Amino acid sequence: MILSNPLLHTLAQSGFPQPMHSATLAHYLVVSAVMFILGLIGFLTRRNLIIMFLCTELMFQAAGIAFVAFGRFHLDFSGQTFVIFVLTVAAAEAAMALALVVLLFRRKETLDASEWKDLRG
Amino acid sequence: MLYSVAKLVPTVAQADAALDSRPPLLLPMLVVVPLATALLIAAAPAARARTIALLGTLVALVGALAAMLVFRWGEPGFQLACEFSWLSHLGINLSMAVDSVALMLVALTALLGPICVQASATAITDRVKTYYAWLLILQAAMTGVFIARDLVLFYICFEFTLVPMFILISLYGSTNRKKAAIKFFLYTFTGSVIALAGLVYVAWFNSHLSPAVINAVGAELWQTFPKLGKWTFDIATLEQAAQLMSGRQQAWVLLALLAGFAVKVPLFPVHTWLPLAHTEAPTAGSVILAGVLLKLGTYAIFRFCLPFCPVAVVEYAPLIGVLCVIGILYGGLICWVQTDVKKLVAYSSVAHLGFCILGLFALNHAGISGSILYMINHGLSTGALFLLIGMIYERYHTRSMKELGGLAARMPVWATFMVFFTMASVGLPGLNGFVSEFLCLLGAFQASTAWGSATGITAEGALDQGLWGSAGAAVPGATPGNLGPWFAAIAGIGMIVAAMYLLYMVGRIVWGPLVEPKGHDHAHDGDSAHSALPVDLCGREVGVLIPLAVLCIALGVYPKPALDALSEPVKSVVMTVNAARSTVEPSAMTTAAKEEAAQ
Amino acid sequence: MHDGAAGVTAAGAAASGPWYAMLIPILPLAGFVLCALCAVFRVRSKLPAWITVGLLAASFAVTAAMYSTVQGTQITTVFQWITWSWGSGPGQSFTANFAFYLDGLTCLWMLFVTGLATLIALYASEYMSHEAGAGYCRFFAAFCLFVFSMACLVMADNLVLLYLGWEGVGLCSYLLIGYFYKKPSAVAAAKKAFIVNRIGDLFLALGIMLCFVHFGTVEYKEMFAQAAVYTKAVSAGEIEKVPLVAQLIAVLLMIGAFGKSAQLPLYVWLPDAMEGPTPVSALIHAATMVTAGVFLIARTYPLFLISEYAMPTVAWVGALTALLAATIGMAQFDIKRIMAYSTVSQLGYMFAGLGVLTSVGAAAHVFTHAVFKAMLFLACGAVMHGFAGQLDLRKLSGVGSMPGWRIVNVAMLVGSLNLIGFPVITAGYWSKDTILGEAFANPSMQGVAWILLLTAGLTAYYTFRVYFRVFVGPQSYEPGEELHAQHDDKHQGHADHGHAHDQHAHGEKSGASHGTHDFHPHPPGWAINTVLVILTIAAFAAFWPIKGTSHPSHLGYIGQMMDASSAAYDPHHDAAMYQFAAHKPAPGEPRSHATFFGFDAHKAMMWVSGFVALIGMAIAYFLHYAGRTSATHSRADSWLPAAGPLANWAKHKWYVDEFYDFLIRKPLLVLAHLFHIIDQYLVDGIVDALGWLPKGIGRLIRPSQSGELHGYAFGMAGGLAVILLIVFLVTN
């Protein structure tokens, strides 16, 4: 039935439970992967520094979801501990990054990332 | 194949340490005091920097003198041992001890400390705190090299000397300082990294020694060196272990070590960083560079190359000897055509240290003793020459011999010192340079198997034997080796060349009609730049030179205490090398030994 | 080596010498320190001179005391110098102490060194008086240091201490030649002296090392004891049994001696050394230091006696040097230089004497030469001092008959007579005659003998050329260049205190330019005259130690001293050694004694050498005195063209200096420049090239760093994709 879908077929063959059952590790991982890819695509395609920054946050959180999911799966709390740690750091880092963005904006009155090429070799 | 080269003399009297009533922290103090002083300078106002630096170096000097006082000079082995555990699980400890060789060099370092501080009084007016702080840190690092008995501690100090020196050259040097500093750093750093590989290989070799091999050499070794076969960086242990390497392994290790140490010395042809660094460095930097930093290389060769790879050293001594001889003549002749007086003295170091290494690789008592004395003496006389040139530079802002001449008429006191230290550098007997130079050459002269055996048959015996040169002839003063009279004779030409270039320098800037740079006139010079300095030397400058002059005379007139003190460490190295020699060169065995072997 | 054994027998237990022997060097050293202190405290009086004279006289007194007490060989040890041992076997220790080897040779040398030094210091107190102040202190400090070094050289009990003295006198020579350091020629001469000497020193050092390697010691006592074994073999006519290396020691020491004593090929520094003040020339470059080479050979005579090659070389080099220097001396006009070449020539005599195995004759000649040559130099110095530095014999005439110059005249005449070996009444005659006689008596040294005889004639000519031109004849003079120089110096001396002195000096100088017109030669004062009188007496008195009393067959007291020293050697008893260079007689075969046309060589020479000297003197009289009406021209000028280019070549010193410059100095300079270029561009170039390697690679991959954020981001994403792909491929 559903196995006619080739992707789900592959997943089922590699030991994943069938869909419509309760949420499993695979679900979380899929969500995480999707989020990460969205973030990545956003980061690669957009030029606006703030959007790009948001995209990195997206990737960050995707990794966080994977962490928590694995932690739950292995019944090991270090995954969750780590995520909390990362969240803390991310908060600080967000503050820093936005401050930097503001400074950069003040310099050139634009948020276009391609305006900044000072590190060219 | 493993060579059984067991030296059964216990080198570290650790058991005695407990009974030793001497202050145990003397050696660490010699490192800590300069470091603490550096911190203090960083915290204090700039106006006080020099005073604090002077006090700190003086305290260190007193410490070094105290160490010399409590040191038992006649005894073999290392003394004043002191060990703190550090990264013990990796076999790395802060272990320190000195033998007479190390202690003399420590004393030289401590002596040059206050001299450098005093010599910088008027030369350094900008960023004073940074300057003195790094000067002090440099002194701590150099002292650390000499007192380290742990390979890692040694290497850290050895490498760390680069940082302060880099800063001193690149911030306080003259026009071309950036290039000089970078070249100095990269050149010597590259070399030392290769040396590190060699040293680590020795440690690795030790950790992989099987107990069976050690037992084959002698089970009693375990008692003295419990860490044999385990992961350790203890120098004494590694010295034993390294001698068990095969000739081929030793050759590679020697090559690696020389890559680092020969650059530091510097030996021809890896010397080109030196003239540049010397010329660009500030006066005190040059003094330290010539006085101590170069000696790190010679000391390391003495401390590691010789006892670690005796077999390879015996085999390659002639090759290194040739490099030394080339360096002596080549460096000397280059000196002769310099116009920059500081560069002249810088190149003279290449020539002088050729003598030093030649003596070291003579691998006999006279040569090695002479070589170690050479380290001290070169530090004194060349250091003083750099000071004197610095004094000229402060007054005239030039070092070109075309712009300077006949300064004896203007500065008789300076001229007197200049001639004095030039003569010390030329190797005039009665001053320090002669003793060491003569012994280095004598060592090279003796060290030849071509003389015949060294069994000490009298002249009468030689006459019966017929011609000289055949086995058994009377050559009581000869030692086994591969150098011989030609090395001494050709290197000896360096004595003539030394006279040529040094007298050329003196004839140019001290004697002759007075020449001063254009636009230079003391009488009308009212600006701040030189108002601090009188025409001739001031009391502070004379005070800087006097201790060096006194030591030059003392070591020239009465070198016996120093020679006696060096006897034990040199003897142990010579024993190690000779033991190795008998395994590689059966021909070097004495006739008597051959006969014994035959029976 | 029966007599030599006197010096050697004590090998095992040489008696320790009197303690006060150490005062001989210590007193001059104290003088050095005191003079240096005078300089520090800016003494402007003649104090340094009196300190020097007093201490040197005391040193002379101690030497005399030593001479009267020391018997045989005694050793006084002061302290241990380069001495330490690293084992107990032979060759396991090195011993070079500050210890003094006291024997006849030491006494002889120290007597005339300290004696002459005292007199010359007294002379210098007046001669240098216009230098009062720092220069005066410097002069006498170096003077004292010289005597100290010379004492170390002579009294050393080992070769290394001798080397200390050897280089020490070289240093003092350097400092004193360059005394007038503002003169570039003086500086160059000083440098040349030091460097040429260093060449000799290198060989001496190598000889010392070889000595140590071969004998295991550098102490004379031990060395001679070991060499005695070889000497036995030589006496037995088996010189080939002596190891080559032992023979080589003497050769190396010999070259060292050639350097210090200005012999071929290393003599070139000595004439230039005349740039120094005249007392220095008299003491260092005539009487004492330059005889150090003779001393070295005499001191190590046992080593030379076992060397098949060294002895004949010494004789031939000595003879050739004597001839060459005499020919150059004949053609010079500077009277001090003539004396310098004469010194080189006479040193050649001494070497030849050593080479033909009359160490006694050589020592006697050293002694007499020291006295009369010092006197000649001092007389020339008095002239130079009085005539403002005039030394050209074409610009001075009839000085002897001027008021106040009588003593100088007498001294000059007596000195000249001694130098040429005027028969019977002069000491120089007897010492020179011994050498000549011995040379003619030696069958293998006939060539040397004839060269020496020819040189004797030339010596007589050039010596009296000076005397006849400068001291007798019509009165005429021109002052020398120092007229201005002295003014200059004085003003500079004052000006050191003030500013803008250059201007001041210039002003004065132009004012003094009329000096030539009202120039009056100032005759020597009491100090110079006293010294000259004493030396004149001494020159005659020198006859007494040579020919006086007690030891008739061996040149009197000097013979006695030499017999009680390491240089003891009696050719009459040692047939084999006597002619080792020619054929080797079988043991026991009587020695063949060469004759001079059938006459006994020694007796014949008494007549012949005197006759030759008189001929030379007569030629000088004919060419330079008879009929001479002015200072500039003499009969010689018309005869000169007959000699063709030879005279010109001799005047230019046979172009030896130029030859050395071309052959050695220039190539070395080129080589030095070449090395410098190689060092900069090749040796350092390789290093720089290695530095360029990473730089080049960096430049190559630099464009990959665009600086654009998205570039890096795509790179990262791409990299991630590649990694994932690899993982995917690997897992499947």
Token representation of residue C702: 């630099």
Tokens for C453?
Answer: 């005889």
| Interchain contact C/A (3 or more Cβ pairs less than 8 Å) | yes
**Given this model, what pLDDT does residue B397 score?**
87
Short-list B589, B575, B580, CA closest to B472:
B589
Contact B272 C679 (CB under 8 A): yes
Q: What is the count of structural domains for chain A? A: 1
- The band of B306, judged by pLDDT with boundaries at 50, 70 and 90, is very high
Element (H, E) at B355: helix B341-360
Residue A49 lies in a domain: yes
- Only one residue has tokens 């030491």, namely C106
When mean pLDDT is compared over B125-139, C218-232, C585-599, C645-659, the highest value belongs to B125-139
Residue B450 has pLDDT above 80, yes or no: no
Q: What is the CATH number of the domain that holds A56?
A: 1.10.287.3510
The domain tally of chain B equals 1
Nearest to B459 among C226, C671, C684 (CB): C226
- Separation of alpha carbons C319 and C447, rounded Å: 9
| Contact yes or no for C717 and A40 at CB 8 A | yes
B150: confidence class by pLDDT, cuts 50, 70, 90: very high
Q: ipTM for the complex? A: 0.90
CA distance A44 to chain C (A): 6
pLDDT band at C705 (very low <50, low <70, confident <90, very high): confident
**Identity of the residue in C86, C213, C244 whose CB atom sits nearest the CB atom of B477:** C213
Above 70 in pLDDT, residue B361?
A: yes
Residue A117 lies in a domain: no
- Token pair for residue C532? 């000259």
pLDDT of residue B341: 92
- Whether C386 contacts C379, CB under 8 Å: no
Does the pLDDT value for residue B327 go beyond 60?
yes
Q: Cis omega before residue B266 (within 30°)?
A: yes
**Distance to chain B for C49, nearest Cα, Å:** 20
In chain C, the residue whose alpha carbon lies closest to the alpha carbon of A56 is C713
Instruction: Decide if A55 touches C, using CB distance below 8 A.
Output: no
Higher pLDDT, A66 or C558: A66
Residue-range definition of the domain harbouring residue A39: 21-110
In whole angstroms, give the CA distance from residue C561 to residue B233. 67
Asked if the C-beta of C666 comes within 8 angstroms of chain B's C-beta atoms, the answer is no
Q: Is C314 on the interface with B (CB under 8 A)?
A: no
pLDDT band with cut points at 50, 70 and 90 for residue B596: very low
Distance CA C661, CA C664 (A): 6
User: What letters, b where the CB count within 10 A reaches 16 and e where it falls short, cover C704-725?
Assistant: eeeebbbeebeeeeeeeeeeee
The answer as to whether B596 is a domain residue is no
Residue C169's nearest CA partner among C59, C290, C275 is: C290
Using an 8 Å Cβ cutoff, are C157 and C124 in contact? no
Answer yes or no: is A68 within a domain: yes
pLDDT one-digit tens code per residue, C377-426: 999 988 888 888 888 888 888 888 888 888 899 999 999 999 988 887 88
- Nearest CA to C209 out of B568, B364, B555, B566 is that of B364
B255: which residues sit within 8 A by CB, 6+ positions away? B198
pLDDT of residue B555: 93
On chain B, the residues whose CB falls within 8 A of the CB of C209 are: 441-442, 445-446, 485, 488
List the domain range (segments joined by +) for residue B446: 2-518+541-590
Could you tell me the pTM of the whole model? Answer: 0.86
More confident of the two residues C161 and C633? C161
Asked if A40's CB is within 8 angstroms of C710's CB, the reply is no
CA distance C694 to chain A (A): 15
Residue C551 pLDDT level (bands cut at 50, 70, 90): low
Q: Is residue B278 part of a domain?
A: yes
Average pLDDT, chain B: 85
Q: How many CB pairs under 8 A join A and C?
A: 32
C167 touches chain B (CB under 8 A): yes
When scoring A14, A36, A53, A119 by the number of chain C Cβ atoms within 10 A, the one with the most, hence best to mutate, is A119
Residue B119 has pLDDT above 50, yes or no: yes
The reply to whether residue C241 touches residue B500, judged by beta carbons under 8 angstroms, is no
What is the rounded CA–CA span in Å between residue C146 and residue C174?
10
Question: What would the pLDDT profile of B509-568 be if each residue is shown by its tens digit?
Answer: 999 888 888 766 554 444 444 556 788 888 889 999 999 999 999 999 999 999 999 998
Average pLDDT, chain C: 83
Query: What are the chain C neighbours of B445 within 8 Å (beta carbons)?
Result: 206, 209-210, 213
The span from the CA of C102 to the CA of C566, in Å, is: 10
Please provide the size of chain C in residues: 732
Higher pLDDT, A57 or B480: A57
Residue B587: is its pLDDT beyond 70? no
Model confidence band, residue C501 (pLDDT cutoffs 50, 70, 90): very low
What is the model's pLDDT at position C662?
A: 87
Q: Which residues of C touch B269 (CB under 8 A)?
A: 683
Q: Which residues of A touch C714 (CB under 8 A)?
A: 44
A109 to chain C, any CB pair closer than 8 A? The answer is no
Return the partners of chain B (3 or more C-beta pairs < 8 Å): C
pLDDT digits (tens, 9 = 90+) for C277-314: 989 989 888 888 999 999 999 999 888 888 888 888 99
CB of C395 closer than 8 Å to CB of C473: no
Q: Minimal Cα–Cα distance from A117 to chain C, Å?
A: 4
Using the beta-carbon criterion (under 8 Å), do A43 and C713 form an inter-chain contact? yes
Q: Note the pLDDT of residue B558.
A: 92
d(CA C239, CA C234) in angstroms, rounded, equals: 5
- The DSSP-derived string for B517-546 is -TT--STT--SHHHHTS-SS--HHHHHHHH
Cβ–Cβ below 8 Å for B423 and C171:
yes
**Reported confidence tier of residue B454, pLDDT bands at 50, 70, 90:** very low
Task: Concatenate the DSSP letters of all residues of C252-304 into one string.
Answer: HHHHHHHHHTT-TTSTTHHHHGGGS-HHHHHIIIIISGGGHHHHHHHHTHHHH
Single out the residue of C558, C596, C570, C310 nearest to residue C453, CA to CA: C596
If you count them, how many residues does chain A have?
A: 121
pLDDT above 70: residue C2: no
Instruction: Provide, as residue numbers in chain C, all residues whose Cβ is less than 8 Å from the Cβ of A40.
Output: 717
Cβ A44–C702 below 8 Å, yes or no? no
Average pLDDT over residues C651-659: 83
**Greater confidence, C130 or C719?**
C719
Contact C707 A40 (CB under 8 A): no
What integer is the mean pLDDT of B88-111? Answer: 91
Band of the pLDDT at A15, cuts 50, 70, 90? low
Residue of B nearest to C134 (CA): B412
Nearest to C195 among B419, B499, B512 (CB): B499
Contacts of C713 in chain A (CB under 8 A): 43-44
Percent of chain B scoring above 70 in pLDDT: 87
pLDDT at residue C350 is higher than 60: yes
The 10s digit of each residue's pLDDT in C74-118 is 888 888 898 888 877 777 888 899 999 998 889 999 999 999 999
DSSP-derived 3-state class of residue C79: strand
CB contact under 8 A, A44 and C714: yes
What tokens appear for B453 in the block?
A: 């055996």
Model pLDDT for residues B328-360, shown as the tens digit of each residue = 999 999 999 999 999 999 999 999 999 999 999
**Residues in contact with B326: Cβ distance below 8 Å, sequence separation at least 6, in sequence order:** B268, B354
CB contact under 8 A, A117 and C703: no
Domain assignment of residue A73, yes or no? yes
Q: Which of C78, C84, C232 to mutate to test the interface with B (most CBs of B within 10 A)?
A: C84
Nearest-CA distance from B499 to chain C in Å? 6
Q: Kindly determine whether residue A117 and residue C706, on different chains, have CB atoms separated by under 8 Å.
A: yes
Tell me whether residue A15 is in a domain. Answer: no
d(CA C311, CA B581): 41
